[in-house]
Amino acid sequence: MLQNLIVLFNKNFSKVFLIGTICFVLLFNINESPWKNNRVIDWDVTSYYGYLPAFFIHQDLSLDFIEKKGTNYSEKHQFWPEIAPNGGKVIKTTMGMSFSYSPFFVLAHIEAKLFSQKQDGFSYPYHKWIHFSGVFYFIIGLIFLRKVLLEYFSEVVSGLTILIIVCCTNALYYCSFQPAMPHITDFSLLSIFLYFSIKWFKFQTYKTIFYLGIISGLMVLIRPTNLLFFLFPLLLNVSSFKGFSNKIKLFFYQWKQILLLGVISFLIILPQLFYWKFTTDSYVFNSYIGETFFWSNPHILEGLFSYRKGWLVYSPIMVFSLIGLFFLYVKRRDLFLPVFLFFIINIYLIFSWWSWWYGGGFGMRSLIDCYPLLCFPLAAFLNFIINRKTKIYSILFILIIILTFKLNLIQIHQYKSAVIHWDGMTKEAFWASFAGKKIDASYWDLIKQPDYDRARNGEEEYDFKPF
């Protein structure tokens, strides 16, 4: 009986770990979350969400009601439009996240009516349902991520990879306390995109290409830079020039399906083009007015190693994903090129943005979006460790998982308590508060917030020494 249970557990290891991880995330969300204090639709989420109350409640995408109603919506953290050259008020972000929120917005609107809450788009039901929209998408994304990993790795490796990504990185904070931010939805959409990309290359059906078209359109509508994710299907299974040539031939052979994908994606994106035309007189408009990339001055070292927001400082376990690129090259070369090339281009793109630290946030939040791709090299590294004859390596790595999980929990608590500052951490502040050490009033003198004006002009705003 016991032996049968062990065999059953081994066959369903990743499913057990997935269910356990989902329950843990739900517990985090129920126990202590911002939706209880109406703090979900706030800051950046205000822009991602603004299309819904503007269209369904105010019936005014021109946002003229902001001036007519005499309400300081900016002070209330509700509407923060940019002003286009023609004088039109334009929502800063694209409308992809509003698409993803919309079913939950409807549920919130119904609840608000049933329980006599304000149907203004910002009362308690809206915060609650928009929060759980992200949780819902994250769970769906994890389910698809498991399917993707099982295509290439064992149950044990797949389960541990998901556990590490969710519990030992800054993804835990965002899937529990800020799931309405686009990073979690992007994470989930990419997981689904990877799954259907792999499935299409196996079967090349219209049904699969239809799903890919919808997911592709949503990803680009959330963030146009998500076009970079198309490197995966373009380079999947490519390890030589001949392999790439065969891939191009396949695309030409299946041109009808590729065309269908493009048409569906374009139809998803089309409302954004109409909105820009309506508000700015141009079908394509850069709504991030006064903000830009500085391609000749990327802050890659700062993005990876700085105490302000360094990815490997606040999610140190991801160093094993980078190490895993070597094992991916050795054992799974069909995956190596799309993952490696994407990572190199992506960190260059991300850290070329004027605000390379991306405002307030825990760790380098802009990299959470691509964690499903980084799961491949992480899983390759885990596969190497687990298959060692000497089990001491596995034991040591399990210890590392436990320690980084504990560190992650401590730092999440510190961030929520502002001990880890949202954008002003320094080396001195980091080590003064490391691992929950008690701090006094002098600690706040160690915080050094960014000079946003200098950064916006492409100027160096602090002297960074990575080592």
Q: What is the DSSP string of 163-189?
A: HHHHHSSTHHHHHHT-TTSHHHHHHHH
> Quick check: 5 pLDDT over 50?
no
Ranges of H-type helices in 122-168? 124-150, 155-167
Supply the DSSP string of 395-462, one letter for each residue.
HHHHHHHHHHHHHHHHHHHHHHTTSS-SS---HHHHHHSGGG----GGGGGG-----HHHHHTT---S
Q: How many CB atoms lie within 10 A of CB 55?
A: 15
C-alpha 379/C-alpha 154 separation (Å) is 9
What mean pLDDT is predicted for residues 148-174? 96
Residue 235: the pLDDT is 96
Task: Give the phi and the psi of residue 232 in degrees, each rounded to 5.
Answer: -65, -60
What mean pLDDT is predicted for residues 86-105? 97
Residue 403: the pLDDT is 97
Q: Which residue has the higher pLDDT, 15 or 229?
A: 229
What is the 8-class DSSP label of residue 34? G
For the chain, what percent of residues have pLDDT higher than 70? 96
Could you tell me which residues are beta bridge partners of residue 89? 83
Q: Which band of pLDDT confidence, cut at 50, 70 and 90, is reported for residue 1?
A: very low
Q: Which band of pLDDT confidence, cut at 50, 70 and 90, is reported for residue 438?
A: low
- pTM for the whole structure: 0.95
In angstroms, what CA-CA distances link 349 with 219, 264, 335, 363? 17, 27, 21, 17
Residue 2: the pLDDT is 36
What mean pLDDT is predicted for residues 312-333? 97
| Tens digits of residue pLDDT in 100-158 | 999 999 999 999 999 999 999 999 999 999 999 999 999 999 999 999 999 999 999 99
Residues 6+ apart with CB under 8 A from 332: 152, 376, 380
Q: Dihedral of the CA atoms 422, 423, 424, 429 (nearest 10)? A: 50
Exposure string of 380-403, with b = 16+ CB inside 10 Å and e = fewer, is: bbbbbbbeeeeeeebeebeebbee
C-alpha 82/C-alpha 291 separation (Å) is 12
| Tens digits of residue pLDDT in 290-322 | 999 999 999 999 999 999 999 999 999 999 999
Residue 11: the pLDDT is 64
> Quick check: 452 pLDDT over 80?
yes
Task: Give the phi and the psi of residue 353 in degrees, each rounded to 5.
Answer: -65, 145
Tokens 């003198």 correspond to what residue?
445
| Tens digits of residue pLDDT in 255-285 | 999 999 999 999 999 999 999 999 999 999 9
What is the 8-class DSSP label of residue 270? H
CB-based contact 154:174 (threshold 8 Å): no
Find the range with the poorest average confidence among 27-31, 343-347, 421-425, 461-465. 27-31
What is the 8-class DSSP label of residue 78? S
What mean pLDDT is predicted for residues 28-56? 86
Cα angle: 208, vertex 234, 350; to 5 degrees: 110
> Quick check: 3 pLDDT over 60?
no
Q: Which residue has the higher pLDDT, 433 or 283?
A: 283
- From the list 89, 52, 82, 83, the residue with the least C-alpha distance to 68 is 89
Residue 467: the pLDDT is 60
For the chain, what percent of residues have pLDDT higher than 90? 82
Residue 277: the pLDDT is 98
What is the 8-class DSSP label of residue 64? T
C-alpha 40/C-alpha 42 separation (Å) is 6
Residue 38: the pLDDT is 78
Exposure string of 282-291, with b = 16+ CB inside 10 Å and e = fewer, is: eeebebeeee
What mean pLDDT is predicted for residues 158-166? 96
Question: Which range, 178-192, 232-246, 386-400, has the best average confidence (pLDDT)?
Answer: 178-192
Residue 10: the pLDDT is 58
> Quick check: 427 pLDDT over 80?
yes
Q: In this structure, which amino acid lies at residue 103?
A: P
Q: Which band of pLDDT confidence, cut at 50, 70 and 90, is reported for residue 71?
A: confident
Cα angle: 337, vertex 341, 342; to 5 degrees: 115
Q: Which band of pLDDT confidence, cut at 50, 70 and 90, is reported for residue 436?
A: low
State the DSSP H helix or E strand holding residue 44, giving kind and residue range, or none if neither.
Answer: helix 44-49
- From the list 244, 242, 220, 222, the residue with the least C-alpha distance to 230 is 220
Q: Which band of pLDDT confidence, cut at 50, 70 and 90, is reported for residue 228?
A: very high
Find the range with the poorest average confidence among 36-50, 222-236, 259-273. 36-50
What mean pLDDT is predicted for residues 331-358? 97
- From the list 251, 247, 188, the residue with the least C-alpha distance to 215 is 188
Q: Which band of pLDDT confidence, cut at 50, 70 and 90, is reported for residue 73?
A: confident
CB-based contact 386:157 (threshold 8 Å): yes
Supply the DSSP string of 320-377, one letter for each residue.
HHHHHHHHHHHH-HHHHHHHHHHHHHHHHHHTTBSSTT-SS-SS-GGGGGGHHHHHHH
> Quick check: 84 pLDDT over 70?
yes
Tokens 């099982």 correspond to what residue?
150
